[in-house]
Chain A
């Protein structure tokens, strides 16, 4: 069975600094997707970044980038120039297509990030 592990329950970072959130996963699949979602106090889940497993190049979205190490099954998120609005819960998620043609998501336990002024 697939699992997603986030080993950092809480982290803090000074505004404008850089922080890296860790995520490891376990799967025997070869075709899958990885995501980082942000859940601010409003509790709305917001997609931060996604990575297709077949792509070797690390995904980047403005201040957000990932370090995807497929062999090590590691998928960390780097937030550069941290802003107060980045304060949220961050979930790493693994998604794979199912035999029925749908997709199944598995979420990590989350990392609570606080950006300090």
Chain B
């Protein structure tokens, strides 16, 4: 199957700093990628849809200025958590769709201290 690589898998940052998470489709081009947030023992919550060459589409309640998304190429989308706070600590997962099937990255565990 297709491969989606997400990096880093774990990151710890200080409150007030910014963190960038990368999502790459390794063997296919993805004009659209998705970013999810998952709280412990809960489901995946769609945060935004990343569109190559255009602005991301954010779900209701997601702060676009805090969660900056850039999709500069057909194989790379980045999520930057700006001015991170402890409440931003969570598990973030990206996915890309190929032929109506979603492939997921390994996820990033963000801890803000």
Interface residues of A (CB under 8 A from B): 33, 35, 42-45, 47, 50, 89, 91, 93, 95, 97, 102-105, 107-110, 112
Contact = CB atoms under 8 A, between A and B. Distances in A.
Given A103-B100, A103-B102, A105-B34, A44 B107 contact: yes
Contact of B93 (A33, A35, A45, A104): A45
Main secondary structure of the interface of B (DSSP, over half): strand
A104 B36 CA distance: 12
Contact of B97 (A42, A103, A109): A103
10 contacts: A42-B106, A43-B93, A43-B106, A44-B106, A44-B107, A93-B102, A95-B100, A95-B102, A105-B34, A108-B43
B93 A107 contact: no
A59 to B, nearest CB: 13
Contacts of B31: 102
A1 to B, nearest CB: 11
B74 to A, nearest CB: 14
Interface of B: 1, 31-32, 34, 38, 41-44, 46, 49, 91, 93, 95, 97, 100-102, 104, 106-107
A47 B107 contact: no
A4 B13 CA distance: 35
Contact of B100 (A33, A42, A45): A33
A42 to B, nearest CB: 8
Contacts of A102: 31-32, 49, 97
A111 to B, nearest CB: 11
A44 B104 contact: yes
Given A33-B100, A47-B101, A105 B46 contact: yes
B37 to A, nearest CB: 12
B101 A50 contact: yes
Q: Give the 7 A-B residue pairs with the shortest CB-CB distance, closest first.
A: A45-B104, A102-B32, A107-B43, A107-B44, A109-B43, A43-B107, A103-B97
